[in-house]
Amino acid sequence: MSKFAPRILKHLSFLTLLEGGSLIALVLIAVPIKYQLGEPLAVQIIGPIHGAFFVWTVGTLLVAAFARALPWRKAGLVFLAALIPFGGLWSHRLIDRERAKKA
C-alpha cells in the first residue's frame, strides 16, 4: 500500500460527495427545468460541471485502486454508485469505512 493511501482516500471521499451532489443537481433540478420549462441553460451549466467531477472522481478512483488504497472490488462498486443518483452518499460512507480500517 502506498504511503499516500490515507490522503488519496480522503480526497476520493470528498470527490464522491461533489460528484454525487452534481449528479443530483443535474437529474433533479437541471433536467426538469429543461424539459418542463423549456430552458436548457441549467443543463448547459450543471452538465459540464458534473462531467468534470465525474472524470476527476474516476481518475482518483483509479489512482486509489492502483496504489492499493482501495481494493479493486470496492473501487468497482464506487464506480457503479457514481452512475446512480444518491450513490455518492453510499460511496462516501464506504470509503470512510475503508479509511478507518487503514488508520
Q: Are 5 and 72 in contact (CB under 8 A)?
A: no
pTM: 0.92
pLDDT at position 102 is: 80
**Can you give the residue range of the structural domain that contains 9?**
5-102
Number of structural domains (the chain) is: 1
Q: Which of 64, 75, 77, 58 is nearest to 7 (CA)?
A: 64
Q: Which amino acid is it at 32?
A: P
Share of the chain above pLDDT 70, in %: 98
Helix (H) or strand (E) holding 38: none
| Window from 2-6, 58-62, 64-68, 87-91 with minimum mean pLDDT | 2-6
Confidence tier at 18 by pLDDT (50, 70, 90): very high
